[in-house]
Amino acid sequence: MDPDPTAPRGRRVAITGMGVVSALGLDAGSHMAALRAGTCGIGPLDIQDLDRLTVRIGAQVRGFDAEARYARSELSLYDRTTQLALAAAQEAMDQAAPPPDPERDLRAAVVIGEALPGMGSIDDSYRAVFQEGKNRVHPFLVPRLMASAPASFISMRHGLKGPGWSVSTACSSANHAMGQAFQMVRSGVSDFAVTGGVEAPLTFGVMKAWEGLRVMTRDVCRPFSRGRAGMALAEGAAIYVLEPLDAARARGATVLAEIVGAGMSMDAGDIVQPSADGAARAMRAALADAGLAPGDVGYVNAHGTGTAANDRTEVEALRAVFGDHAERLRISSTKSMHGHALGGAGALELAAVIMALRDGVIAPTINYAEPDPECDLDVTPNLAAQAEIRAAISNSFAFGGLNAVIAARRAD
C-alpha cells in the first residue's frame, strides 16, 4: 500500500500544519475535540433580517473577535472570509514552523478554495445603496470581495511569493484547491504550499437564495438517516501546510498525515442533481493516483449533505467503487456537526480524516434517527468509534457536477 517515492508520480507529500476556525471551535484542537464528542455546531443564527427568513439556523462561528486579531487598517481590507482564512493560516504556519528560507518562499504556493467570495461585503453594500439610499460604498469594496483575496492576504502575511490563486468549484472548491497544491508539491513545482478552503455565506442574501432551492433543514442535519430534511449552511476555514515528506522529516517537523492522491471528475449531466457515476469516477481516480486498492481504505469522510438525493447517490457510488469492501468501511458525515461550508467544506472535513489516521478516532454522523434502506452502510451513527485506519478518502461533490476526492494515509 505504501507509495513508492521513486515512482514517476513524484515526491511524497506531508501535512505539517493545520489551522481551523469553525462553528465547533476557534482552533484545530477545539474543532477536533468537538468532532470526537459529537458536538452539534448548528443552531439559531445571529444575522441581520433573520425575521425575513424561513430557515433560521446554520453553523455560525461564535466568539471570533476580529478587532482583537487585526488592526483597523487591516479590517478595512478584510471581508469575513479573509479574516477567517488568515486566522486558520496563522495557526497552520505556527504549527508547521518552517525555518526562514527566502529561496523556498520564492516558489511557495498558496491555493485556497472558496465558492461565494465576499458575501458579507456584498450584502452590506447592497443594503447601503438600495435600502439606505447611500451613494457610496466602502472604498475598498473591490479588494474585500475578490475571490482571490484570502490567497493574496495569506501570501502577503507570510511572505510566500510563488504560484497563488483561488479555486471556485462550488462545494468541491477546497478539495480541488488542496488537490492542486498537493500535485504541485509532489511534482516539484513548489517545495511548500499553504492550502485549504474558507467560506462565510451566513448573510441574508445567501440564505434567501438557498431557501429557494428547498434543500435546507429547519431543525438538524441528519445525513444518511431516514427522514433527513436537508443541509445546514456553515461558515469556517481550514488551512494546511504541505511540504515534501523527506524535507519535513529532515527538519524534524511533526507529520500529521500524508496526502497520497487526488481525483477529479465532471458529471457532464445536471447542474444540481448528483451523479453516482461522476462521484465514483472521482473516487477511482484518487485511489489510482495514490496507488491504493479499494481494500486499503478504512475510512471515508462522506460528502453527506443530509439531502435525500445526495446521500442516496453517494452510497450508490461507494458501493460501485468499493464493492463488498463497502460493508467494512468506516464512513461519517461531519457536516452533521460543523454544517456545510460550501467551498470550505472539504478543508474542514480533512481535519476529521487526519483525526482518523493519526488518532484512530472516527468522527460520528450525529442526529442519526433511523436507518434508510437506500443508505445501508456503516455511517458511524451518533457516537465516535475507535479503529486503526491506515488510508482514507474525503469526498466533495458539487453543483455543476464538479467532483474532487482527496486520498490520505497515516504518517508512519
For residue 217, give the 3-state DSSP assignment: coil
Residues noted as catalytic = 171, 303, 340
Q: What is the pLDDT of residues 298-356, one digit of tens each?
A: 999 999 999 999 999 999 999 999 999 999 999 999 999 999 999 999 999 999 999 99
Q: What number is the average pLDDT over the span 215-241?
A: 98
CA 377/CA 12 separation, integer angstroms: 32
Residue 412: pLDDT band with limits 50, 70, 90 = confident
Q: What is the pLDDT of residues 100-150, one digit of tens each?
A: 999 999 999 999 999 999 999 999 999 999 999 999 999 999 999 999 999
- The overall average pLDDT reported for the chain is 96
- Name which of 387, 368, 389 is nearest 379 in CA terms: 368
Q: Structural domain boundaries of the chain?
A: 14-250, 261-409
C-alpha distance from residue 369 to each of 60, 98, 382 (Å): 24, 45, 9
Domain 14-250 has CATH 3.40.47.10: yes
Q: Is a pLDDT exceeding 50 seen at residue 157? A: yes
| % of the chain surpassing 90 pLDDT | 97
CA 352/CA 359 separation, integer angstroms: 10
- Can you give the pLDDT at residue 9? 72
- Name which of 303, 298, 299, 296 is nearest 282 in CA terms: 303
Contacts of 223 (CB under 8 A, 6+ apart): 302, 304, 305, 306, 311, 333, 335, 336, 365, 368, 379
Same fold, 14-250 and 261-409: yes
- Can you give the pLDDT at residue 185? 98
- Name which of 264, 247, 74 is nearest 156 in CA terms: 74
- Can you give the pLDDT at residue 6? 38
CA dihedral 106, 111, 116, 120 (to 10 degrees): -50
CA 254/CA 95 separation, integer angstroms: 8
**In CATH, what number does 261-409 get?**
3.40.47.10
Which position has the grid cell 479573509? 82
Q: What number is the average pLDDT over the span 36-52?
A: 98
CA 301/CA 75 separation, integer angstroms: 35
Q: What is the pLDDT of residues 57-102, one digit of tens each?
A: 999 999 999 999 999 999 999 999 999 999 999 999 999 999 999 9
